Amino acid sequence: MSIQLRFAARSDVGLVRSANQDSGYAGPHLLVLADGMGGPAGGDIASSVAVAHLAALDDAHGADDLLDLLRGAVADAHAELVARSEADADLAGLGTTCIAVLRSGNKLAMVHIGDSRAYLLRDGVLTQVTEDHTFVQFLVSTGRLTPEQAERHPQRNVILRALGDNDGEVQLDESLREAVPGDRWLLASDGLFGVVSHDTIADTLKQIDDPGACAEELITLALRGGGPDNVTCVIADVVETGAGRAPDTTPHVVGAAAHDRQRATRGGDGPAARAAALVRAATPEEPAREEAEEPSRGRRWVGRAVAAVLVVLALAAAAWAGYRWTQTQYFVAPDGDSVAIYRGIPQELGPLSLARLHERTDLRIDDLTPVAQARLEEPITRASLADAQAVVDNLRGSIRKEPAVPSPAPEGAAPAPDGAAPTPATASPGAPAPATGGA
């Protein structure tokens, strides 16, 4: 059975932001969504660069090559973002999330980094396929927060992984999946799912058949919810080839990557030409000669220094806020051979420990039952000191009760007859002497 994608991409700046830093791409073989960061000077560039490098892959490939191709394109985008931020202080903090889905026949390869999301609607059930690379998702995954608490957490937008945010190796989530006719895929930036509920997204995907109209409605819902951020949706339906109207094969490019994408090129309309056009869009245009006059060296240096200081202060403030939150948490764990209460969370960030000993109790681990000892193999996290102390009190109720050990019979005691208790050698003071023979 031969399949193909029926696709659409839509993006909107929202009602609060002054510029669109999202970029989206939908084509016959490729879906991409990127949500840029780095302030007005860099977020749009970052997402455009990611889409530009990946757009060249929108062509037929062997299924065995899909993940390697995606890894290579993402690595190239990451390297370019790092180089740009190192070359221009105004682009410090340049980075972007990225989700890319590449198709070969009925196989789909996906790579993901950041907090943008991929959803799959199959048999009427909407499933979030990707996991957010955020601080709060880490806390949820390790049992420190519930999903409901994560939705209201003040650090819910702190991203742990992204392209371009540092010069280290890119850590992607990767997967290979089957493309099943009837499936509907949605790639979305947080401007959608941060405003529109999961159930409403699911209902909209089920009710509106046309991908373009569906994407438009999702964006409308986000705007009705206040539109606090850029919102981008990429939708693709898996359909059998020849079933119904033939899908459009013209790629959709939206958001920051769509800027000036119609500029003429000699490269035609193949993947390389699309990539070249997008790369040009990601490169700031040369200013007019009057605008290109640089300020004095001293003013330029001061401006960049101030920008760098502001970035550092913003990062420090976010890190400090996150650290302060960890210090409101507690957990119970061993300290040597005793049970202890710690303040913080049982994690380390490089050389920094996020936990410190609060109280070493007099409860010894060896005195606990095997079941209670097994509970302490992993830290028992709690949201308050009172809850942690309650855990310790509960463990105190699990102290093992040693069985009475019978004392051995003293030397010289007369052996007891079969079935009788052994005769002690001496009597307790004040007790009658035991009988030594029958009358």
Residues 274 and 362 in one domain: no
Residues 206 and 150 in one domain: yes
- Domain boundary at 283, 307, 342, which? 283
Per-residue pLDDT, averaged over 72-97, amounts to 91
User: What is the C-alpha to C-alpha distance for residues 391 and 398, in angstroms, rounded to an integer?
Assistant: 11
Residues 339 and 213 in one domain: no
pLDDT(12) > 50: yes
Q: Structural domain of residue 372, as residue ranges?
A: 330-396
Per-residue pLDDT, averaged over 48-67, amounts to 95
Residue 433 lies in a domain: no
Residues 143 and 270 in one domain: yes
How many domains are contained in the chain?
2
Residue 426 lies in a domain: no
Backbone angles phi, psi at 33, to 5 degrees: -140, 135
pLDDT band per the 50, 70, 90 thresholds, residue 438? very low
**Can you give the pLDDT at residue 265?**
35
Residue 68 lies in a domain: yes
**Can you give the pLDDT at residue 402?**
65
Residues 140 and 18 in one domain: yes
Per-residue pLDDT, averaged over 417-428, amounts to 45
pLDDT(271) > 60: no
**Can you give the pLDDT at residue 52?**
95
Residue 184 lies in a domain: yes
Q: What would the pLDDT profile of 181-210 be if each residue is shown by its tens digit?
A: 999 999 999 999 999 999 999 999 999 999
Mean pLDDT of the chain: 80
Helix, strand, coil % (nearest 5) of the chain? 35, 25, 40
Q: Which residue has the higher pLDDT, 16 or 430?
A: 16
**Can you give the pLDDT at residue 305?**
47
Going by C-alpha positions, the residue among 283, 368, 275, 383 that lies closest to residue 326 is 383
Q: Which residue has the higher pLDDT, 411 or 189?
A: 189
Residues 358 and 211 in one domain: no
pLDDT band per the 50, 70, 90 thresholds, residue 394? confident
Q: Which residue has the tokens 């007790």?
A: 431
Helical residues (DSSP H) of 12-170, grouped into ranges:
43-55, 66-87, 135-141, 147-152
- Domain boundary at 250, 283, 316, which? 283
**Can you give the pLDDT at residue 322?**
62
CB of 128 within 8 A of CB of 190? no
**Can you give the pLDDT at residue 343?**
92
**Can you give the pLDDT at residue 345?**
84
Please give the share of the chain, as a percent, with pLDDT higher than 90.
50
**Can you give the pLDDT at residue 61?**
95
Among 38-52, 105-119, 295-309, 395-409, whose mean pLDDT is lowest? Answer: 295-309
Angle between helices 66-87 and 43-55 (to 10 degrees): 150
User: What is the C-alpha to C-alpha distance for residues 157 and 234, in angstroms, rounded to an integer?
Assistant: 21
Residue 319 lies in a domain: no
**Can you give the pLDDT at residue 277?**
54
pLDDT band per the 50, 70, 90 thresholds, residue 328? confident
Query: How distant, in Å, are the alpha carbons of 61, 174, 175 from that of 65?
Result: 7, 13, 13
Residue 290 lies in a domain: no
CB of 9 within 8 A of CB of 233? yes
Question: CA 182, 186, 191: angle at the middle one, nearest 5?
Answer: 160
Q: What is the CATH number of the domain that holds 53?
A: 3.60.40.10
Residues 269 and 384 in one domain: no
Please give the share of the chain, as a percent, with pLDDT higher than 70.
74
pLDDT band per the 50, 70, 90 thresholds, residue 122? very high
Residue 117 lies in a domain: yes
Q: Which residue has the tokens 């059930």?
A: 125
Residues 222 and 120 in one domain: yes
Residue 222 lies in a domain: yes
Residues 141 and 244 in one domain: yes
pLDDT(439) > 70: no
User: What is the C-alpha to C-alpha distance for residues 144 and 330, in angstroms, rounded to an integer?
Assistant: 10
pLDDT(313) > 60: no
Cα torsion 59, 63, 65, 69: sign: positive
Q: Which residue has the higher pLDDT, 29 or 166?
A: 29
CB of 382 within 8 A of CB of 330? yes
The pair of three-digit structure tokens given for residue 184, joined into one six-digit string: 């509907």
Residues 269 and 202 in one domain: yes
CB of 142 within 8 A of CB of 135? no
Q: Residue 29 forms beta bridges with which residues?
A: none
**Cβ neighbours, 10 Å, residue 315:** 12
Per-residue pLDDT, averaged over 139-148, amounts to 86
pLDDT(150) > 90: no
- Amino acid at residue number 246: A
pLDDT(129) > 80: yes
**Can you give the pLDDT at residue 263?**
37
pLDDT band per the 50, 70, 90 thresholds, residue 281? low
Residues 258 and 187 in one domain: yes
User: What is the C-alpha to C-alpha distance for residues 198 and 45, in angstroms, rounded to an integer?
Assistant: 30
Residues 273 and 374 in one domain: no
pLDDT(266) > 70: no
pLDDT(288) > 60: no
User: What is the C-alpha to C-alpha distance for residues 32 and 53, in angstroms, rounded to an integer?
Assistant: 11
**Cβ neighbours, 10 Å, residue 22:** 34
